[in-house]
Each structure stands twice: as structure tokens, then as C-alpha cells.
Amino acid sequence: MSMSAELSQLLQEMERFCAYQERSPFEIRKKLLRKGAPEEAILFCLKSLNEKNFLNEVRFVQSYIEGKSSIKKWGIHKIYAGLKAHRIPESLIQEQLQSFDKKGNQERLLLWFQKKEKSLSSESDPKKKKQKIVRYLLSKGFSFEDIMNLF
């Protein structure tokens, strides 16, 4: 198949985009759609990026989980939601989250708990303080059950 210069340029651009950091197929599709690429070009780029190993969904999921848990200190539920937003298949998410660091999750939860508790030191109503902490920790992606175990 001979590639048009425009398609070749689009593919090179997507290769650079993927080389910079791990990307999901959804991100590539979104970027190409914004550029006005037709469906055939999108499919060609996705196939080519996969074949050249610029795009690898498993590698993306592993990188996403690692980055969001160790750098952003997110809980498992927020990581899960982020992967769903990237249109990652449920089976792949579940498979990769099996190896998720549960102990590290508890440490991150405790870290956020202490940080929020300290920032609410002026809150005199214990009930309000607890509600604010719970809401905050839920937004960070931790389970209600794990949060309630802290109190």
C-alpha cells in the first residue's frame, strides 16, 4: 500500500506523540479526529503504531497504574475510572489491577487522611470534619470501607 505524503506525515506525528509517553488508542483516535483525519487514516495509524510497538495497550495500562498510584497517589477506584475513560477493555483493567499494590494503597490513604485532617484543624464540629475527610478521600479514589476503617 502506498502512503500519501499527508498520511505519512500524520503517522510520523503520531509516532512522536507516542514516543513522548505511553498513549491509549483512545488518545490517538481523539487527536487524529481533532486533526480531521478520516476513519481509514485513523485505522491505518492505529494498526501501524501497534505493529511498530509505539502503541501497546497493556504497557499503557501498566504505566497509567504506576504513575497515578506512585506520583499522583490516587486510590484504586480513581485509577479504575481513569482507565475506563480511556476506553480500556474491562478484562485488561481487571487483569492489571490484580497486581495493584494493596499495601501501598493503604499507605497512600493514610497519607491523604493525615494531610486533610491537618488542613481541617480549625474545624470544631467533629461530625463535619469527618464528613469533609470522607468526601475528600472518596474523591482521591479510595473505597468507603477502607476510609471508614480509619475512624
For residue 3, pLDDT over 90 is answered with: no
Q: What is the pLDDT, as a whole number, of residue 112? A: 95
User: What is the pLDDT confidence band of residue 1, given thresholds at 50, 70 and 90?
Assistant: very low
Q: 2 pLDDT exceeds 50?
A: no
Q: What is the DSSP string of 48-70?
A: HHHHTTS--HHHHHHHHHHHHHH
Q: Is 8 helix (H, G, I), strand (E, B) or coil?
A: helix
Mean pLDDT of 21-39: 94
pLDDT of residue 100: 76
Cell of residue 138, nine digits: 472518596
Task: Return mean pLDDT, the chain.
Answer: 92
CA distance 89 to 36: 26
Rounded CA separation 139/145 (Å): 14
pLDDT in tens, 38-94: 999 999 999 999 999 999 999 999 999 999 998 999 999 999 999 999 999 999 999
Distances (CA, A) of 127 to 13, 119, 132, 136: 53, 16, 9, 14
Task: Provide the whole-model pTM.
Answer: 0.85
Q: How far apart are CA 25 and CA 29, in angstroms?
A: 6
Cα separation, 46 vs 38, in Å, equals 13
Q: Which residue has the cell 483525519?
A: 37
pLDDT per position as a tens digit, 90-131 = 999 999 998 776 778 889 999 999 999 999 988 889 999 999
